[in-house]
Amino acid sequence: MKEKRIGIIMNGVTGRMGLNQHLVRSVLAIRKQGGVVLADGSRLVPDPMLVGRNAAKLEQIAKEYGMDRWTTDLQGALANPDDSIYFDAQLTTLRAPSVEAAIAAGKHIYCEKPLAVDSAMALRLAGLAKAAGVKHGVVQDKLFLPGMRKLKRLVNSGFFGRILSVRGEFGYWVFEGDWQPAQRPSWNYRKQDDGGIIVDMFCHWRYVLDHTFGRVRAVQCLGSTAIPERVDEQGLRYQCTAEDSAYGTFELDGGIIAQINSSWSVRVYRDELFNLQVDGTLGSAVAGLRECRTQHRVNTPRPVWNPDIENPFRFRENWQEVPDNQTFDNGFKVQWELFLKHVAEDAPFPHDFLEGARGVQLAELGLKSWQERRWLDVPELGV
């Protein structure tokens, strides 16, 4: 079978997301399976060029995974016409200038969320990419989680009847860094480094809500910094200037009300790190990262409020598992495959920079709502 090479400049591969999800579990996994099969029967094989600041780290990663292409010179990498895609998983703050340079170099761009730190910049990047005629995309990984895909299947089947409300619970305890190391980078907790859970998570909530239930039309949000001081990667104490918890309420098309709590200072007493409960007139579902359970109206128990007796119900017993009915690959990898096909053969790819800008817009409005203590409408964006 004919093989085609596609060169990808991968910036930020020494980071958590860049290394684990994008390099190892996506691009290298695609290489290992022999590439992506295109409509003409040929195989498109990605060839990564690792970019970063720390030569020693890059060399070590390249060696560990059997690669020979790495550099600390981004401009030099962008100047190579043999690498047609630029990928960015750097710190959020650094993304916009690098993406802009990549657009100027004529590269197709794929990048982590948030696309930029404010919606004006995100829209600017969307406009520049459009004007340059390059393909562009933003990671929307939660849509590709098995649990979310099963939930979408339920929505499409009409299972819920009229969807009434959506309630989400996201989060886990992130250690403070003193008595146990933190499992997230310290910049996440500093406003001056564009950290904060609202910027981080509202981008996700925007596409999850928009694509699964209906467009987000208004937002109300309250943030809080539960842990005011943490210890960083160097063992130094620092002030947490960004919020680590956010309580958001969203109005969606169709009168659907969604509430999502996001927190890095909550202990998990649920089945998964993220749960979304959907209640509709005909049935309800609870979806997580991998699982999805339903309760049809005919299986709904009839509780009566009476705290004086032992609870007679085992509420979880009236729920049914939604079967996989298909094989779910890693969500990041699935989206990479779609983007590669989009670049190579113009296959549809709805997760573009405008979508990325919508996520940034919701985060921005969430922050504003918190600051001004009021509901805000979410205007339509366009470029």
State in angstroms the smallest separation of the CB of 346 from ligand NAD. 25
d(CA 267, CA 239): 22
Q: Quick check: helix, strand or coil at residue 365?
A: helix
List 43, 65, 185, 247, residue binding ligand NAD (CB under 6 A): 185
18 contributes a contact to ligand NAD by CB under 6 A: yes
Q: Does 14 bind ligand NAD (CB under 6 A)?
A: yes
Integer angstrom CA distances of residue 256 from 72, 96, 150, 211, 246: 48, 34, 19, 13, 20
Q: What letter would DSSP give residue 358? A: H
Residues 159/294, Cβ–Cβ less than 8 Å = yes
Q: Does 83 bind ligand NAD (CB under 6 A)?
A: no
Residue 4 · residue 42 · CB < 8 Å? yes
If one asks whether residue 94 binds ligand NAD (CB under 6 A), the answer comes out as: yes
Site for ligand NAD, residues 293 to 352, rule: CB under 6 A: none
The answer to whether the beta carbons of residues 361 and 133 sit under 8 Å apart is: no
- CB nearer to ligand NAD: pick between 37 and 101: 101
Stretch that binds ligand NAD, among 8-16, 124-132, 158-166, 308-316 (CB under 6 A): 8-16
288 counts as binding ligand NAD under rule CB under 6 A = no
Beta bridge partner(s), residue 263: 171, 245
Nearer to ligand NAD, 18 or 46 (CB): 18
How far is 353 from 128, CA to CA, in rounded Å? 10
**Contact status: 92 vs ligand NAD (CB under 6 A):** yes
Work out whether 368 is an interface residue with ligand NAD (CB under 6 A): no
To ligand NAD, the closest distance from the beta carbon of 179 in angstroms equals: 22
Give the residue, chosen from 17, 85, 231, 292, that forms a contact with ligand NAD under the rule CB under 6 A.
Answer: 17
Residue nearest to ligand NAD (CB): 15
The length of the chain in residues reads 383
Q: How far is the CB of 72 from ligand NAD (least distance, A)?
A: 10
Asked if residue 352 lies in contact with residue 138, where contact means CB atoms within 8 angstroms, the answer is yes
Q: Which residues contact 47 (CB under 8 A, 6 or more apart)?
A: 5, 6, 7, 8, 31, 69, 83
For ligand NAD, the binding residues in 122-141 under the rule CB under 6 A are 139, 141
Please answer whether residues 221 and 249 qualify as being in contact, where contact means their C-beta atoms are separated by less than 8 angstroms: yes
* Residues in contact with ligand NAD, shown as a per-residue x/- string from 24 to 63 under the rule CB under 6 A: ----------------------------xx----------
Check residue 147 for interaction with ligand NAD (CB under 6 A).
no
> How many Cα atoms are found within 13 Å in the side-chain-facing hemisphere of 119?
22
Residue 12 in the binding site for ligand NAD (CB under 6 A): yes
Out of 118, 200, 243, 251, which residue is the one contacting ligand NAD (CB under 6 A)? 200
Residue from 30, 50, 51, 112 touching ligand NAD (CB under 6 A): that is 112
- Tokens representing 213? 């239930």
Q: How far apart are CA 43 and CA 58, in angstroms?
A: 27
Residue closer to ligand NAD by CB (options 94, 104) is 94
Q: Does 362 bind ligand NAD (CB under 6 A)?
A: no
Could you tell me the two tokens for 225? 């910094």
Interface residue with ligand NAD, options 28, 29, 38, 91 (CB under 6 A): 91
Cα(84)–Cα(257) distance, rounded to whole angstroms?
Answer: 42
Does residue 359 touch ligand NAD according to CB under 6 A?
Answer: no
The answer to whether 214 touches 165, Cβ cutoff 8 Å, is no
Can you give the binding site for ligand NAD, defined by CB under 6 A?
Answer: 12, 14-18, 52-53, 89-92, 94, 112-114, 139, 141, 185, 200
